Amino acid sequence: MLTTIAYGLAVVLDLLVLVIGARFLLQPRAAATGYGVPAKADGDAAYLQIKGLRDGVSGILGLALLAFAGVRAEGWFMLAVALVPLGDTLIVLRHGGTRAAAFGIHFATAVVVLASAALLFAV
């Protein structure tokens, strides 16, 4: 049962970051608003699309690690990528986003990713 939960949560998180990446590629301004810091109307959408590409690749990498390298590699990956939503929390707070977005979206995501890492290491 623990194995199913650990693998399932890891797959769901990897797929979610892949979807977030796709959204930043396809709808960069809407995705930025959902992130918690709306993009300027006259800003360069290329930077938002760069974020989308990197998020998408992170999701693919997570899935590849789980499929080809195993549960421990995925656990280390989750532990390392937990730094991303922690950094996102600070970015949202420093750039005028709401505390609700910073903590309710990004910090909460970091907690879930760390829980995923713990479950993967426990398997």
The string of DSSP codes covering 8-51 is HHHHHHHHHHHHHHHHHHHSHHHHHHHHTSPPPTTS-HHHHHHH
Long-range pairs, 104-110, Cβ under 8 A, ≥24: 105/35, 105/36, 106/36, 109/85, 110/82, 110/85, 110/86
Instruction: Tell me what pLDDT residue 19 has.
Output: 98
Determine contact, residues 25/49, Cβ cutoff 8 Å: yes
pLDDT digits (tens, 9 = 90+) for 63-84: 999 999 999 999 999 999 999 9
pLDDT digits (tens, 9 = 90+) for 96-114: 999 999 999 999 999 999 9
Instruction: Tell me what pLDDT residue 40 has.
Output: 87
Instruction: Tell me what pLDDT residue 25 has.
Output: 96
CA distance 71 to 52: 26
Determine contact, residues 123/2, Cβ cutoff 8 Å: yes
pLDDT digits (tens, 9 = 90+) for 7-60: 999 999 999 999 999 999 999 999 999 999 999 888 888 999 999 999 999 999
Give the amino acid at 84.
V
